[in-house]
Structure 1
Protein backbone atom coordinates (compact mmCIF):
# COMPACT_ATOMS: atom_id res chain seq x y z
CA UNK A 1 0.00 0.00 0.00
CA UNK A 2 1.45 3.32 -1.04
CA UNK A 3 0.50 6.67 0.47
CA UNK A 4 0.49 9.66 -1.79
CA UNK A 5 2.51 12.74 -0.96
CA UNK A 6 -0.58 14.77 0.04
CA UNK A 7 -1.46 12.36 2.86
CA UNK A 8 2.11 12.40 4.13
CA UNK A 9 2.19 16.21 3.96
CA UNK A 10 -1.08 16.40 5.94
CA UNK A 11 0.26 14.01 8.59
CA UNK A 12 3.38 16.15 8.96
CA UNK A 13 1.41 19.40 8.95
CA UNK A 14 -1.08 18.30 11.59
CA UNK A 15 1.67 16.70 13.68
CA UNK A 16 3.61 19.96 13.71
CA UNK A 17 0.41 21.95 14.32
CA UNK A 18 -0.43 19.84 17.38
CA UNK A 19 3.10 20.33 18.69
CA UNK A 20 2.79 24.11 18.20
CA UNK A 21 -0.48 24.06 20.14
CA UNK A 22 1.16 22.00 22.91
CA UNK A 23 4.24 24.20 23.30
CA UNK A 24 2.78 27.67 22.67
CA UNK A 25 -0.91 27.70 23.57
CA UNK A 26 -1.67 24.95 26.12
CA UNK A 27 1.62 23.79 27.61
CA UNK A 28 1.57 20.91 30.02
CA UNK A 29 -1.42 19.03 28.63
CA UNK A 30 0.80 16.25 27.20
CA UNK A 31 -2.08 14.57 25.31
CA UNK A 32 -2.01 17.11 22.49
CA UNK A 33 1.77 16.84 22.30
CA UNK A 34 1.68 13.04 22.18
CA UNK A 35 -0.92 13.10 19.40
CA UNK A 36 1.21 15.60 17.49
CA UNK A 37 4.34 13.52 17.98
CA UNK A 38 2.47 10.39 16.82
CA UNK A 39 1.20 12.12 13.66
CA UNK A 40 4.66 13.50 12.96
CA UNK A 41 6.31 10.10 13.46
CA UNK A 42 3.74 8.43 11.21
CA UNK A 43 4.28 11.05 8.51
CA UNK A 44 8.06 10.62 8.63
CA UNK A 45 7.79 6.82 8.63
CA UNK A 46 5.44 6.86 5.63
CA UNK A 47 7.75 9.30 3.83
CA UNK A 48 10.67 6.90 4.25
CA UNK A 49 8.54 3.97 3.12
CA UNK A 50 6.75 5.54 0.17
CA UNK A 51 8.83 8.49 -1.01
CA UNK A 52 12.33 7.11 -0.52
CA UNK A 53 15.25 7.47 1.83
CA UNK A 54 16.47 10.86 0.60
CA UNK A 55 13.01 12.43 0.92
CA UNK A 56 12.60 10.80 4.34
CA UNK A 57 15.93 12.26 5.48
CA UNK A 58 14.93 15.69 4.19
CA UNK A 59 11.55 15.65 5.96
CA UNK A 60 13.12 14.28 9.17
CA UNK A 61 15.74 17.05 9.19
CA UNK A 62 13.17 19.75 8.41
CA UNK A 63 10.89 18.48 11.18
CA UNK A 64 13.78 18.34 13.66
CA UNK A 65 14.79 21.93 12.83
CA UNK A 66 11.18 23.12 13.13
CA UNK A 67 10.66 21.35 16.47
CA UNK A 68 13.96 22.70 17.80
CA UNK A 69 12.97 26.25 16.85
CA UNK A 70 9.52 25.71 18.34
CA UNK A 71 10.94 24.51 21.66
CA UNK A 72 13.42 27.41 21.69
CA UNK A 73 10.69 29.98 21.08
CA UNK A 74 8.17 28.29 23.38
CA UNK A 75 10.52 27.96 26.34
CA UNK A 76 11.92 31.48 26.31
CA UNK A 77 11.28 33.27 29.62
CA UNK A 78 9.25 36.02 27.98
CA UNK A 79 6.85 33.48 26.49
CA UNK A 80 6.70 31.43 29.69
CA UNK A 81 5.80 34.54 31.71
CA UNK A 82 2.67 34.99 29.60
CA UNK A 83 1.45 31.62 30.87
CA UNK A 84 2.73 31.89 34.45
CA UNK A 85 0.79 33.26 37.37
CA UNK A 86 2.66 36.41 38.33
CA UNK A 87 0.09 38.15 40.53
CA UNK A 88 0.65 38.26 44.26
CA UNK A 89 -2.15 37.63 46.71
CA UNK A 90 -2.16 40.28 49.41
CA UNK A 91 -5.37 39.05 51.05
CA UNK A 92 -5.44 37.78 54.58
CA UNK A 93 -7.52 35.53 56.75
CA UNK A 94 -9.03 36.73 59.99
CA UNK A 95 -6.87 35.02 62.57
CA UNK A 96 -8.08 34.78 66.16
CA UNK A 97 -4.47 35.01 67.37
CA UNK A 98 -4.48 38.57 66.06
CA UNK A 99 -8.05 39.23 67.00
CA UNK A 100 -9.78 42.53 66.63
CA UNK A 101 -11.82 41.50 69.70
CA UNK A 102 -9.55 42.16 72.67
CA UNK A 103 -9.87 40.73 76.20
CA UNK A 104 -12.44 42.71 78.15
CA UNK A 105 -14.67 43.38 75.14
CA UNK A 106 -18.38 42.87 75.83
CA UNK A 107 -20.75 41.31 73.33
CA UNK A 108 -24.01 39.36 73.00
CA UNK A 109 -24.39 35.70 72.03
CA UNK A 110 -26.25 35.03 68.79
CA UNK A 111 -26.46 31.30 69.43
CA UNK A 112 -26.33 29.16 72.52
CA UNK A 113 -22.75 28.47 73.58
CA UNK A 114 -22.46 24.73 74.33
CA UNK A 115 -19.56 25.46 74.89
CA UNK A 116 -18.90 26.98 71.45
CA UNK A 117 -21.10 29.22 69.33
CA UNK A 118 -21.40 32.66 67.78
CA UNK A 119 -21.30 36.06 69.45
CA UNK A 120 -21.68 39.61 68.17
CA UNK A 121 -19.10 42.22 69.18
CA UNK A 122 -19.95 45.70 67.82
CA UNK A 123 -21.11 44.55 64.35
CA UNK A 124 -18.50 41.75 64.17
CA UNK A 125 -19.70 38.13 64.32
CA UNK A 126 -17.12 35.83 65.83
CA UNK A 127 -16.94 32.17 66.74
CA UNK A 128 -16.36 31.97 70.48
CA UNK A 129 -16.10 29.32 73.16
CA UNK A 130 -16.53 29.13 76.92
CA UNK A 131 -14.46 27.16 79.40
CA UNK A 132 -17.09 24.44 79.54
CA UNK A 133 -20.21 26.23 80.81
CA UNK A 134 -23.33 26.60 78.70
CA UNK A 135 -24.59 30.10 77.87
CA UNK A 136 -28.05 30.80 76.46
CA UNK A 137 -28.56 32.73 73.24
CA UNK A 138 -29.02 36.50 73.77
CA UNK A 139 -26.82 36.60 76.88
CA UNK A 140 -24.16 39.22 77.47
CA UNK A 141 -20.60 37.83 77.43
CA UNK A 142 -17.15 39.25 78.01
CA UNK A 143 -13.92 38.14 76.33
CA UNK A 144 -11.59 36.69 78.96
CA UNK A 145 -8.76 35.78 76.65
CA UNK A 146 -7.45 34.43 73.38
CA UNK A 147 -6.20 30.85 73.67
CA UNK A 148 -4.44 29.41 70.63
CA UNK A 149 -6.95 30.17 67.89
CA UNK A 150 -10.09 30.57 70.03
CA UNK A 151 -11.81 33.58 71.57
CA UNK A 152 -12.75 32.52 75.11
CA UNK A 153 -15.72 34.25 76.76
CA UNK A 154 -17.67 34.07 80.00
CA UNK A 155 -21.22 35.12 80.75
CA UNK A 156 -21.72 38.47 82.48
CA UNK A 157 -23.97 37.89 85.46
Structure 2
Protein backbone atom coordinates (compact mmCIF):
# COMPACT_ATOMS: atom_id res chain seq x y z
CA UNK A 1 0.00 0.00 0.00
CA UNK A 2 2.86 2.40 0.82
CA UNK A 3 4.47 1.78 -2.57
CA UNK A 4 1.18 2.54 -4.29
CA UNK A 5 0.93 5.90 -2.51
CA UNK A 6 4.55 6.77 -3.26
CA UNK A 7 4.31 5.73 -6.91
CA UNK A 8 1.02 7.57 -7.42
CA UNK A 9 2.46 10.77 -5.93
CA UNK A 10 5.64 10.50 -8.00
CA UNK A 11 3.81 9.65 -11.23
CA UNK A 12 1.27 12.43 -10.69
CA UNK A 13 4.12 14.88 -10.04
CA UNK A 14 5.96 13.70 -13.16
CA UNK A 15 2.81 14.01 -15.27
CA UNK A 16 2.16 17.53 -14.01
CA UNK A 17 5.72 18.55 -14.85
CA UNK A 18 5.26 16.97 -18.30
CA UNK A 19 2.02 18.90 -18.82
CA UNK A 20 3.78 22.12 -17.75
CA UNK A 21 6.68 21.62 -20.14
CA UNK A 22 4.75 20.41 -23.20
CA UNK A 23 1.18 21.73 -23.05
CA UNK A 24 1.09 24.88 -20.89
CA UNK A 25 4.62 26.30 -20.83
CA UNK A 26 5.10 29.43 -18.83
CA UNK A 27 2.16 29.09 -16.45
CA UNK A 28 4.33 27.65 -13.63
CA UNK A 29 1.29 26.73 -11.50
CA UNK A 30 1.05 23.24 -12.98
CA UNK A 31 4.82 22.80 -12.68
CA UNK A 32 4.80 23.90 -9.03
CA UNK A 33 2.02 21.41 -8.28
CA UNK A 34 4.08 18.72 -10.00
CA UNK A 35 7.11 19.52 -7.87
CA UNK A 36 4.96 19.54 -4.70
CA UNK A 37 3.48 16.10 -5.47
CA UNK A 38 6.95 14.78 -6.26
CA UNK A 39 8.26 16.21 -2.99
CA UNK A 40 5.39 14.60 -1.05
CA UNK A 41 6.19 11.25 -2.67
CA UNK A 42 9.85 11.54 -1.70
CA UNK A 43 8.90 12.59 1.84
CA UNK A 44 6.62 9.56 2.25
CA UNK A 45 9.40 7.35 0.89
CA UNK A 46 11.90 8.67 3.47
CA UNK A 47 9.32 8.15 6.25
CA UNK A 48 8.56 4.53 5.40
CA UNK A 49 11.73 3.00 3.93
CA UNK A 50 15.44 2.86 4.58
CA UNK A 51 17.60 5.79 3.57
CA UNK A 52 19.31 3.80 0.81
CA UNK A 53 16.00 2.88 -0.81
CA UNK A 54 14.73 6.45 -0.46
CA UNK A 55 17.81 7.86 -2.17
CA UNK A 56 17.37 5.39 -5.06
CA UNK A 57 13.79 6.66 -5.44
CA UNK A 58 15.07 10.26 -5.35
CA UNK A 59 17.67 9.51 -8.05
CA UNK A 60 15.09 7.83 -10.29
CA UNK A 61 12.63 10.67 -9.75
CA UNK A 62 15.21 13.35 -10.60
CA UNK A 63 16.27 11.37 -13.67
CA UNK A 64 12.65 11.07 -14.81
CA UNK A 65 11.98 14.78 -14.33
CA UNK A 66 15.17 15.77 -16.18
CA UNK A 67 14.23 13.49 -19.08
CA UNK A 68 10.75 15.02 -19.23
CA UNK A 69 12.15 18.55 -19.30
CA UNK A 70 14.73 17.62 -21.96
CA UNK A 71 12.00 15.99 -24.06
CA UNK A 72 9.94 19.14 -23.76
CA UNK A 73 12.77 21.32 -25.02
CA UNK A 74 13.73 18.98 -27.87
CA UNK A 75 10.19 18.34 -29.04
CA UNK A 76 9.98 21.87 -30.42
CA UNK A 77 6.88 22.76 -28.45
CA UNK A 78 8.39 26.16 -27.62
CA UNK A 79 8.55 27.01 -31.32
CA UNK A 80 4.75 26.95 -31.51
CA UNK A 81 4.55 29.71 -28.90
CA UNK A 82 7.39 31.92 -30.12
CA UNK A 83 6.97 34.91 -32.40
CA UNK A 84 8.49 34.27 -35.81
CA UNK A 85 7.59 37.38 -37.79
CA UNK A 86 7.67 41.09 -37.18
CA UNK A 87 4.78 43.29 -38.20
CA UNK A 88 6.13 46.03 -40.39
CA UNK A 89 2.84 47.49 -41.56
CA UNK A 90 1.77 50.91 -40.44
CA UNK A 91 -1.75 52.14 -40.00
CA UNK A 92 -3.13 55.03 -42.05
CA UNK A 93 0.09 55.72 -43.98
CA UNK A 94 -1.81 56.82 -47.07
CA UNK A 95 -4.80 58.29 -45.23
CA UNK A 96 -3.89 61.93 -45.87
CA UNK A 97 -2.68 61.44 -49.47
CA UNK A 98 -4.03 64.14 -51.74
CA UNK A 99 -4.94 66.56 -48.93
CA UNK A 100 -3.28 69.94 -48.51
CA UNK A 101 -3.41 72.76 -45.99
CA UNK A 102 -5.91 75.35 -47.24
CA UNK A 103 -8.03 72.81 -49.13
CA UNK A 104 -11.78 73.46 -48.86
CA UNK A 105 -14.44 70.93 -47.98
CA UNK A 106 -17.81 70.52 -46.27
CA UNK A 107 -18.72 68.90 -42.96
CA UNK A 108 -21.18 66.02 -43.27
CA UNK A 109 -21.75 65.66 -39.53
CA UNK A 110 -21.55 67.95 -36.54
CA UNK A 111 -17.94 68.47 -35.54
CA UNK A 112 -17.73 68.76 -31.75
CA UNK A 113 -14.64 68.73 -31.76
CA UNK A 114 -14.45 65.50 -33.82
CA UNK A 115 -16.67 64.67 -36.76
CA UNK A 116 -16.72 63.87 -40.48
CA UNK A 117 -15.96 66.09 -43.41
CA UNK A 118 -15.78 65.58 -47.16
CA UNK A 119 -12.81 66.69 -49.26
CA UNK A 120 -12.64 65.79 -52.98
CA UNK A 121 -15.52 63.28 -52.72
CA UNK A 122 -13.81 61.39 -49.88
CA UNK A 123 -14.98 61.36 -46.28
CA UNK A 124 -12.43 61.91 -43.51
CA UNK A 125 -12.54 62.10 -39.74
CA UNK A 126 -11.59 65.61 -38.74
CA UNK A 127 -11.00 67.69 -35.63
CA UNK A 128 -12.19 71.24 -35.20
CA UNK A 129 -9.64 73.83 -34.22
CA UNK A 130 -12.36 76.24 -33.10
CA UNK A 131 -14.94 74.09 -31.27
CA UNK A 132 -18.41 73.17 -32.58
CA UNK A 133 -19.09 73.26 -36.33
CA UNK A 134 -22.52 72.20 -37.57
CA UNK A 135 -23.12 69.76 -40.44
CA UNK A 136 -23.07 71.23 -43.95
CA UNK A 137 -20.63 74.04 -43.14
CA UNK A 138 -17.81 75.00 -45.50
CA UNK A 139 -14.45 74.31 -43.81
CA UNK A 140 -10.76 74.66 -44.62
CA UNK A 141 -7.91 72.34 -43.64
CA UNK A 142 -5.86 74.28 -41.09
CA UNK A 143 -3.21 71.62 -40.25
CA UNK A 144 -2.22 68.07 -41.22
CA UNK A 145 -0.27 66.47 -38.39
CA UNK A 146 0.23 62.89 -37.19
CA UNK A 147 -2.51 61.54 -39.49
CA UNK A 148 -4.97 64.10 -38.08
CA UNK A 149 -6.87 66.63 -40.09
CA UNK A 150 -7.41 69.88 -38.19
CA UNK A 151 -10.09 72.10 -39.72
CA UNK A 152 -11.46 75.61 -39.21
CA UNK A 153 -14.41 77.58 -40.59
TM-score grouping bracket, smaller chain normalisation: 0.7 to 0.9
Alpha carbon RMSD of aligned pairs, Å? Answer: 2.7
Residue from 3, 6, 12 that aligns with 1:5: 3
Distance 1:88 1:123 in 2: 36
Moved over 4 A (4+): none
**TM-superposed deviation, 1:13:** 0.4
Q: Match of 2:44?
A: 46
Q: Match of 2:106?
A: 108
Distance 2:107 2:45 in 1: 80
Contact 1:144–1:153 (CA<8 Å) still a contact in 2?
Answer: yes
User: Aligned pairs, how many?
Assistant: 152
SS of 1:75 mapped into structure 2: helix
Q: Match of 2:96?
A: 99
Distance 1:124 1:5 in 2: 78
Contact 1:107–1:142 (CA<8 Å) still a contact in 2?
Answer: yes
SS of 2:91 mapped into structure 1: coil
**What do the CA deviations read for 1:50-93 (whole angstroms, capped 9, x no partner)?**
13222211111011112222222323493321222324434432
Q: Match of 2:148?
A: 150
**TM-superposed deviation, 1:138:** 1.6
Q: Match of 1:67?
A: 65
User: What TM-score comes out, normalization by structure 2 length?
Assistant: 0.80
Gaps of 5+ in 2: none
